[in-house]
Chain A
């Protein structure tokens, strides 16, 4: 439902404001998710070295 404030605000400005609010919430939320998992090395990816169980040659 639109509020009195919304009715006086051009929608493009409202989109810009909402997009910025989303970007801020995303930064906080995704950082929180990463911090919660403590994947401190998430930005610099590390590969996995898993030994394969091989039959004798």
Chain B
């Protein structure tokens, strides 16, 4: 029995106590400290890292959670567990805005899952996680192929939640490509698939995503109705949350399309403030809201602030997406309009 072992036991016991009290961040930090003191390959090291990852992810500390899951993956007892740890790392990294790291983790997870579990539901979930990260970075063809593969597995296995989620995300992929006509049927199907599942928050997310597509199609009345309903559910169930910010961003786009610039600015500032609180000031998901607000400010006559907002949008998005990404081009066009003399 060494002093280090005593220390590890004390750290884990205190972490368990804190976790039991709902103090997830403090518990996760102690679990990380304990894991780092244990030798590589020790099964308790994997357990401590995995506990830390779950606690930190649930508390929204996604960057720390990604590191914890990476530690767990390195000490996983077998490749099935390693695949789960890696895709958890990928999800945490994606939510933290570290999209390239997320792709690396999900790709490794998918290779392990395919080798060990073939076309299982687990493989489908990892494939759809990777597909979503490809979508965010602009690797659309790879995303499409993986989503379709995951959808076929989910349909074969009768996994209705997964089918609804993949339909939702195929709609999102079409939205990212600028093809609202292709996306709307997927988004409507996600709503139909979700409606019987007693999942009000998921259904609100589906309706909000459908609204994003309808805005681009100019169907503003239906979009507005869906957004109001989704916002009500999100506020009731989630409170101050990133999901509310996304709805507010879309409400800003509806108001902007209707030339109601005062309302548009109010919604866009609410969206931006909430995203900064939940994601931090440099997260790539701020870019769309920043450029929407920039467009509103330009149309209200403030070209200087408009240009500043568009430049900030480019700065947060450019490192995280492929060159020539559609949203990058939109922001560059918005910036050129704001700075045109």
A binding-site residues for B, Cβ under 8 Å: 10-12, 14-16, 18-30, 32-34, 37-41, 43-55, 57
Do A22 and B15 contact each other (CB < 8 Å), given the known contacts A49-B212, A51-B215?
yes
Q: B54 to A26, Cβ gap below 8 A?
A: yes
Residues of B within 8 A of A (CB): 1-2, 5-6, 8-9, 12-13, 15-17, 19-20, 22, 24, 27, 31, 38, 44, 47-48, 50-51, 54-55, 57-59, 91, 94, 125, 128-129, 132, 135-136, 161-162, 165, 168-169, 171-173, 175-176, 183, 187, 199-202, 205-206, 208-209, 212-213, 215-216, 237-238, 241, 246, 249-250, 252-253, 256, 264, 268, 285, 288-289, 291-296, 298, 327, 330-331, 333-334, 337-338
Asked whether B253 lies within 8 Å of A41 as measured between CB atoms, the reply is no
The answer, among A15, A33, A34, A55, for a CB contact under 8 Å with B44, is: A15
A11 to B42, CA, bound (A): 14
Q: Are A25 and B201 in contact (CB under 8 A)?
A: no
Q: How far is it, in angstroms, between the C-alpha of A41 and the C-alpha of B50 when the chains are bound?
A: 21
Judging by beta carbons under 8 Å apart, are B165 and A16 in contact? no
CB of B20 within 8 A of CB of A28, answer yes
Whether A11 contacts B58 by the Cβ 8 Å rule is: no
Chain A residues positioned under 8 Å from B237 (CB to CB): 37-38
Establish whether residues B295 and A55, one from each chain, have CB atoms under 8 Å apart when the complex forms.
yes
Tell me which of A28, A38, A48 has the highest count of chain B C-beta atoms within 10 A of its own C-beta.
A48
Q: How far is the CA of A18 from the CA of B206 in the complex (A)?
A: 41
Residues of chain A with a CB closer than 8 A to B54's CB: 26-27, 30
B22 near A29 with CB under 8 A, answer yes
A44 and B27 alpha carbons, distance in the complex (Å): 25
> Which of A14, A24, A41, A51 has the largest number of chain B CB atoms within 10 A?
A51
In the complex, how many angstroms separate the beta carbon of A31 from the nearest chain B beta carbon? 8
Q: How far is the CA of A51 from the CA of B172 in the complex (A)?
A: 11
Q: Shortest 3 CB-CB distances between A and B: which pairs? A: A53-B292, A49-B212, A18-B12
A-B CB pair tally, cutoff 8 Å: 186
Q: Which residues of B contact A16 (CB under 8 A)?
A: 44
Contact call A54/B6, Cβ cutoff below 8 A = no
Q: Is A33 in contact with B22, judged by CB distance below 8 angstroms?
A: yes
29 residue pairs from A and B, CB less than 8 Å apart: A11-B8, A15-B5, A15-B9, A18-B13, A21-B12, A22-B48, A25-B15, A27-B54, A29-B55, A30-B58, A37-B241, A41-B201, A43-B125, A44-B128, A44-B165, A45-B129, A46-B168, A46-B205, A46-B209, A47-B173, A49-B171, A49-B212, A50-B246, A51-B253, A52-B327, A52-B330, A53-B252, A53-B291, A57-B333
- What CA separation (Å) do A32 and B58 show in the bound complex? 9
Which residues on B sit within 8 Å (CB–CB) of A52? 253, 288, 291-292, 327, 330-331
Chain A residue contacts of B212, Cβ below 8 A: 48-51
Contacts A44-B125, A53-B295 given; does A22 touch B246 at CB 8 Å? no
Q: How far is the CA of A44 from the CA of B298 in the complex (A)?
A: 38
Q: Is the CB of B27 within 8 A of A25?
A: yes
